[in-house]
Amino acid sequence: MININNLTFGYSRRKILYDNLELELKEGNIYGLLGENGAGKSTLLMLIAGLKRPHYGTVEVGGHYASDASPEFLREVFFIPEEMTFPNISIESYVGVLAPFYPKFDHTAFFEMISEFGLTPDMTLHNMSYGQKKKALISLGLASNTRLLLMDEPTNGLDIPSKSQFRKLVAKYMSDDRVFLISTHQVRDLESLIDPIVIVDSGKVVFNETLDSITEKLLFTTADKVLSEDVIYLEKGIAEDKVVAKNTSGDVSRVNLELLFNAVLSEKTVMVEALSN
Amino acid sequence: MEFTSNKAIYLQIMDLICEKVLKGTWGEGEKIPSVRQLAVELEVNPNTVARSYSSLQDDGIIFNKRGIGYFIAEEASKMVQNVEKSAFMKDDVPTFFKKIQLLGISWNELSELYQQYEQQ
């Protein structure tokens, strides 16, 4: 339902960030977007949201093009940026002006969520902490019921209990006709939530795989449990050496996202080859 | 729930449900939480729970009543026992044999120990 075709973008014409990028996202999934600092995760989210215009290529969401910025497109996309700006009004007034842009906005769900996050409708946005603003925005995004919800580092600034609440809310409001795309560095916060995993590096989507297909082909384990010839990537540790190896046993291991990320960035071709076999 | 083991999360969720069946927390014929409810409770992707449920359904441990939800099957605890037994035979027994060979433990020693254990 989201198709990015032939997308080229850079902040200046001479310095291209994304060159000929192709990406397809399917509904009913919570995609995790991983990449190093400066790899372009936030830029990609802004391109998909239509907040930046590509030099070439198209971003299409449910048959509408981001570059048209039509009401039909905008009512189906909600973007939770890392840097938030709000007018200086109460949560209640803000939802009053924002919700009409989203026809499927669920007010009951919204007020439930903010109260679960310990906020009250009369709180003024400028008097709230970064974490509290984030909670308000996450609640708005989930309650908007848009087909596409983009979240840039949503767990940044959330305290420990709120991270758990965040995961519960995402699990609750995810549905078969929505796509969530979450960029993050905090993989441990979201390890049990994100699937498929998309990794961007040097202006390309270098990886876009479901956990199922990853674990079918790859084994996440320790060096003593596999043959050395099957090892693709190894991380030395004092207690044990963690490895990503070819899965010859048929065992289904738990994907260690940090290890996966490091393996993809350092052994790109071998990893892609192992997955395509 | 912390997913600490090295097994895939969907397998750990299956283990969790099987454990509840064996302990009798979830009785045969009893309705269990929906995919969504369990996903929220465990803070995991609903698709992961759906995967666990569909595998458990294939194993005959739970069944789905269309539009109503999932239930623990009759004879589920027997089936869980069978599944666990074959997993034990496949995974734990070979490790055990390897260890007794390595340590030079005889069958007589073991059978004495087992008789003591049974009497307790």
- What are the domain boundaries of chain A? 2-209, 211-276
Please answer yes or no on whether B43 and A215 come within 8 Å at the CB atom: no
For residue A196, say if its preceding peptide bond is cis, omega within 30 degrees of 0: yes
Residues 183-212 of A with CB under 8 A from B: 191-195, 211-212
Contact status of B46 with chain A (Cβ, < 8 Å): yes
Q: Is the pLDDT of residue A27 over 80?
A: yes
Please list every residue in chain A whose beta carbon sits closer than 8 Å to the beta carbon of residue B6.
220-221, 253-254
Cα separation of A161 and A77, whole Å? 28
Please answer yes or no on whether B8 and A253 come within 8 Å at the CB atom: yes
pLDDT digits (tens, 9 = 90+) for B62-115: 999 998 999 999 999 999 998 889 889 998 999 999 999 999 999 999 999 999
Scanning every residue of chain A, which has its alpha carbon at the shortest distance from the alpha carbon of B4?
A: A254
Residue B25 sits in a domain of what CATH number?
Answer: 1.10.10.10
Contact status of B5 with chain A (Cβ, < 8 Å): yes
Please answer yes or no on whether B45 and A195 come within 8 Å at the CB atom: yes
CB-closest option in A28, A221, A252 to B8: A252
Cα separation of A132 and A154, whole Å? 12
Q: Which fold has domain A2-209?
A: Rossmann fold (3.40.50)
| Helices B46-58 and B9-23, packing angle to 10 deg | 60
Give chain B's domain count: 1
Please list every residue in chain B whose beta carbon sits closer than 8 Å to the beta carbon of residue A28.
47
C-alpha closest to that of A9 among A55, A40, A45 = A55
Contact status of A155 with chain B (Cβ, < 8 Å): no
Mutation target vs A (from B13, B34, B38, B45; most A CBs, 10 A cutoff): B45
Has the ipTM of the complex gone over 0.85?
Answer: yes
- Residue ranges making up the domain that contains B14: 1-120
pLDDT digits (tens, 9 = 90+) for A89-139: 999 999 999 999 999 999 999 999 999 999 999 999 999 999 999 999 999
Kindly indicate the confidence band of residue B33, based on its pLDDT and cuts at 50, 70 and 90. Answer: very high
Provide the whole-model pTM: 0.90
Long-range pairs for A221-226 at CB < 8 Å and ≥24 separation? Answer: A221/A245, A221/A253, A221/B6
Cα separation of A117 and A139, whole Å? 9
Q: Per-residue pLDDT averaged across B2-29, rounded?
A: 91
Token pair for A220: 């996440």
Q: What is the pLDDT of residue A26?
A: 95
Q: Is the pLDDT of residue A199 over 90?
A: yes
Contact status of A174 with chain B (Cβ, < 8 Å): yes
Q: What does the mean pLDDT of chain A come to?
A: 93
Q: Tell me, what DSSP letter sits at residue B92?
A: I
Cα separation of A200 and A264, whole Å? 10
